[in-house]
Amino acid sequence: MMSFARSFVAPLLCGLLMASAAVAESWTVELSKKQERALAELRGKQKVTALAISPDGAWGNAWGKVNEAEARAFVLGHCRAHLRRGKRDCFVYMVNGKVVAPKQVQTRKVSQVYKPGNGKLAPQVIGRVNAQFQGDRAAAEADFARLQAHQGAGIPLNSDRDLARILRQNSLMSTSKSGFAIYFDRFGGGGFFTSNSGGLTTFFDDWRATQSGLVCWFGARYDTGKQIGTQCLYIDQISKGAVAFSWASSAKTRRKGQIIAGDARLGAVR
């Protein structure tokens, strides 16, 4: 079995030129009543806590995050997912009970808003990873069968360095307007799946990406705590960030996806 993988280009820096071209506006910070309630919700919550706000009323708050960087990224993404074109961008207002924003902030109107799961807009707003990979379906199916038959402790899959590098701190997502985004962090990660009722959020504790193209994540659960278990898919090919894959549960159905440069579970703007 032979399989090759290389990530040719680092994740794209999205929105840099448009952000610099946008006219910044000065705004004297004053929380709306809803933003004040979001801030009050954080009192007594487990650290790390944070709040991001927009001058136009959007907000995002979080608690129980691993560190400040994660908390800042989450609240900004949550706040930005509630913006619309022409509204002013979000900024981090509070971290761990301390106001970190100045009394006057410089903000700008956004020209595009990515909402989680929108695979059509993600490449424009966040950016696609220009990566190459060739899988081996027969070998991947054999790896999956071995995983299913395994009854002992541990995970009987060796992670391939090259494919893991392509996925790590990036997202595998669909290309449709309403789809899914699975983010692979250094160890765990999570997913966002659009549904008729809005969106479903999942988390997982560990993952593996094999040389054959089998990608599995373990200890998956909904944000409600309901357990899902192990989930897997086969990556047949990645060409310039475009992905041909199948879910292991429906292996004969070939699907189109993409590798997005960052956490596509969160909102983003340009």
User: Is residue 39 a contact partner of residue 171, using CB atoms and an 8 Å limit?
Assistant: no
Q: What is the pLDDT of residues 34-51, one digit of tens each?
A: 999 999 999 999 999 999
Question: Which pLDDT does position 8 carry in this prediction?
Answer: 36
The residue written with tokens 């909402």 in the block is 115
Q: Cα–Cα distances in Å, from 196 out to 24, 106, 178, 200, 267?
A: 37, 37, 10, 10, 19
112 burial class (0-12, 13-18, 19+ CB within 10 angstroms)? middle
178: three-class secondary structure by DSSP? coil
Question: Which pLDDT does position 197 carry in this prediction?
Answer: 73
Question: Which pLDDT does position 9 carry in this prediction?
Answer: 38
Q: What is the pLDDT of residues 61-116, one digit of tens each?
A: 999 999 999 999 999 999 999 999 999 999 999 999 999 999 999 999 999 999 99
Torsion of CA 240, 242, 248, 254, to 10 degrees: -120
Q: Evaluate if residue 190 carries a pLDDT over 70.
A: yes
Q: What is the pLDDT of residues 106-153, one digit of tens each?
A: 999 999 999 999 999 999 999 999 999 999 999 999 999 999 999 777
Q: Evaluate if residue 7 carries a pLDDT over 80.
A: no
Q: What is the mean pLDDT of residues 191-205?
A: 89
Q: Evaluate if residue 167 carries a pLDDT over 80.
A: yes
Whole-prediction pTM: 0.87
The domain ranges of the chain are 5-13+119-269, 23-110
Q: Evaluate if residue 231 carries a pLDDT over 90.
A: yes
Tokens at residue 156, please? 């009987």
* pLDDT level of residue 24 (50, 70, 90 thresholds): confident
Q: Evaluate if residue 206 carries a pLDDT over 60.
A: yes
